[in-house]
Amino acid sequence: MNNIPVISIDGLSGSGKSTVSKKLSRQLGFYILDSGVLYRTFAYLQNIKKIKSFDINNINMLIKNITMAPNKNLGFDVLYEKTNITDRLHYEEVGLLASSISKNEAIRSALLPLQHACIQAPGLIANGRDMGTKVFPNSILKIYFTADLDIRAKRRYEQLIKTGTKPNLINIRNSLKDRDEKDINRKISPLKVAKDAIIIDSSHLNVDSVLDKILELYKITET
C-alpha cells in the first residue's frame, strides 16, 4: 500500500473540493473517499440501534462490522454486517446527527484503520477536512481549497435552486460562516492547512481550470 499514491483534498465547505475530487477521480482512475460518509454511518447505526451515547466498547463493536467495499464507480459502498447500507446514509436526519458525531475523538481515531484500508490501486483521492493533516499525512499531494464566502454561498444557492427548493441566500451565507468557524476552531482535528499543502483559491476559477492545475501538480510529483 505504501506505493499506492494518495491525493488528499481538504478545505472550506462550498469551496468546490467535492466536485473537483469526483472529476479528478474519473480523470486518473483513482478511487475516491468522502470521509463524511463514515460519520454518517455512525449516525445511521446510532439511530437504528438506539445508542444513547458512545463508549469505547460500542464504538469497537460497530467498527468491526463495518466494511468499505470498492465499487465499479470508483467509490466505496458501506457494508454493515455484510449488508450494503450506503443508500440509507443520505437521509436528512442522518446528516444532522453526523455533524455532532464527527466531533467525537474516540470515533475519529477508531475510523482511521477503515480510512487507511481505502488505499486501493491505482490510487486514492481523499476528500474531507483533515485528510492531509491527520488521516493521510504522507499523501503524495495535498491540496487545500478556499474561496470567498459570498461566492461559496452563491454556489450553494444555485445548487439548491436546481433541486427545486427555494433557498435563502443570506441564511446559506450565515450557515457557511458558522460552519467555517466551527471547523477551524474545534479542538479535535480542526480544519487547517497542512504545512506541505498547495492552497487553491477557487473563487474565480472554474472546475476545469482547477482540475488542470491539480493534474499538473500531480504530474510533477511523479517525476
How far does CA 135 lie from the centroid of its chain? 11
Domains of the chain are 1-30+122-223 (3.40.50.300), 36-119 (3.40.50.300)
- What is the rounded distance in angstroms from the CA atom of residue 85 to the CA atom of residue 88? 5
State pLDDT tens for residues 13-54. 889 999 999 999 999 999 999 999 999 999 999 999 999 999
> Residue 43 and residue 54: Cα distance in Å, rounded?
11
pLDDT of residue 171 exceeding 80: yes
Q: What is the pLDDT of residue 91?
A: 84
Q: What is the pLDDT of residues 125-149, one digit of tens each?
A: 999 999 999 999 999 999 999 999 9
Mean pLDDT across the chain: 93
Q: Look at residue 1 and tell me whether its pLDDT is greater than 70.
A: no
pTM for the whole structure: 0.92
pLDDT of residue 177: 94
Question: Cell 506541505 identifies what position?
Answer: 196
The secondary structure of 5-40 as a DSSP string is -EEEEEE-TTSSHHHHHHHHHHHHT-EEEETHHHHH
For position 29, what pLDDT does the model report? Answer: 97
